[in-house]
Amino acid sequence: MSNSQYKDFLACEARAMAMMDGWKEPQTDALLIGSYVHAYFEGPEAFEEFKANNPELISSRGPTKGELKTEFKKANNLIRAIESDPMCMFMLQGEKEVILTANFAGADWKIKIDCLNRDNNRFSDIKTTDSITKETWDKKLGYVSFVESKGYLTQMSLYAEIERLDAGRDGWIEPIIVAVSKEDPPDKAVVGLKAYDIERELDQIRENMPRILSVKSGSEAPNRCEKCRYCRETKQLTKITYYADLTL
């Protein structure tokens, strides 16, 4: 299991199963901007490789040839916002793109930590978001920040646990999110969570895993969310929907 697969199964089991068979969500500009910022902080080599693999980012014609296309230019502002902040840069010191594995909640997990700093008992991850402070509506949780709505609380908690198991240690090291917004000028924050948040998130994963493993292995049929791109692509209607059920 990976964090993204776990997230996929929670969002829509049918889509998660289709993704295991090769179905892909199309790349969006928002995702590309996030990956671009990530690659930059991974190091010069990773950054050049990312740009070579994503030629759609770079203008190929006219006076701007070789530069970032207009819609991706703001990615450079995001990078500058982080780079010009000593606290952000301090939090991003450590070993980059570290792969760790451990067995947890009945599954073998593989994770990739952006920036691991065991000497300072910390790991960190850069997250790009539309706004750091804006609340969004979540049906289960009510109004929440991007950290919850994007599943980052779950991801950081899972990473803390896998790192702990990998290291064979009793306690967790501190998960840190270096957040930068896509606003002009970008907002930024160094975001932390507490041990009881990690405990709560891990309990939630332990609770969800039996169903996910059962669907993944084919023992139980996947549920369709009927809302995601995959469900919309493959939808076949069989009944009339009562109007008040449309937003359920």
Of 19 and 46, nearer to Zn ion (C-beta) is 19
Q: Say if strands 136-138 and 122-129 run parallel, antiparallel, or are unpaired.
A: unpaired
Question: Rounded to whole angstroms, how far apart are CA atoms 73 and 57?
Answer: 9
In the chain, where does DSSP find H-type helix? Answer: 3-11, 13-20, 29-42, 44-53, 70-83, 86-91, 146-149, 152-167, 195-216, 229-234
CA geometry: angle 58, 97, 213, nearest 5 deg: 105
Q: Which of 6, 15, 18, 79 binds Zn ion (CB under 5 A)?
A: 15
Q: Please provide the distance, in angstroms rounded to a whole number, between the alpha carbons at the two ends of the chain.
A: 29
Interaction between residue 12 and Zn ion (CB under 5 A): yes
Of 15 and 127, nearer to Zn ion (C-beta) is 15
**Taking the complex as a whole, how short is the minimal distance between the CB of residue 236 and Zn ion, in angstroms?**
13
Piece of the chain touching Zn ion by CB under 5 A; list 4-12, 24-32, 45-53, 83-91: 4-12
By CB under 5 A, what part of segment 181-240 binds Zn ion? 225, 228, 231
How many residues line the site for Zn ion (CB under 5 A)?
A: 5
**Taking the complex as a whole, how short is the minimal distance between the CB of residue 23 and Zn ion, in angstroms?**
11
Interaction between residue 10 and Zn ion (CB under 5 A): no
Of 69 and 227, nearer to Zn ion (C-beta) is 227
DSSP 112-124: EEEEEEGGGTEEE
Residues forming contacts to Zn ion in the complex (CB under 5 A) are 12, 15, 225, 228, 231
